[in-house]
């Protein structure tokens, strides 16, 4: 995790081994405290984190 001079997270990297190969993702956070517009996905296209993690534990 990289933080800026204001102690806010600027970048976060996660690396792990997965069944189908390595997992490596980097998230960069820009424009703190600026308004955004978000449109929610239809419920049929989403999954709760509990369901996602249950599937991860089962392999």
pLDDT at position 55 is: 62
Q: Across the 59 residues of the chain, what is the mean pLDDT of every consecutive 10-residue run?
A: 92 91 92 91 85 64
Rounded to two decimals, the pTM is 0.50
For residue 46 the two structure tokens come to: 């989403």
3 state SS for 7-55: CCEEEEEEEEEECCEEEEEEEECCCCCCCCCCCCCCHHHCCCHHHHHHH
């Amino acid at each position: 995790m990289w933080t800026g001079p204001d102690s806010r997270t600027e970048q976060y990297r996660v690396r792990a081994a997965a069944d189908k190969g390595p997992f490596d993702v980097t998230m960069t956070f820009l424009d703190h405290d600026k308004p955004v517009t978000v449109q929610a996905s239809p419920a049929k296209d989403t999954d709760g984190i509990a369901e996602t993690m249950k599937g991860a534990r089962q392999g």
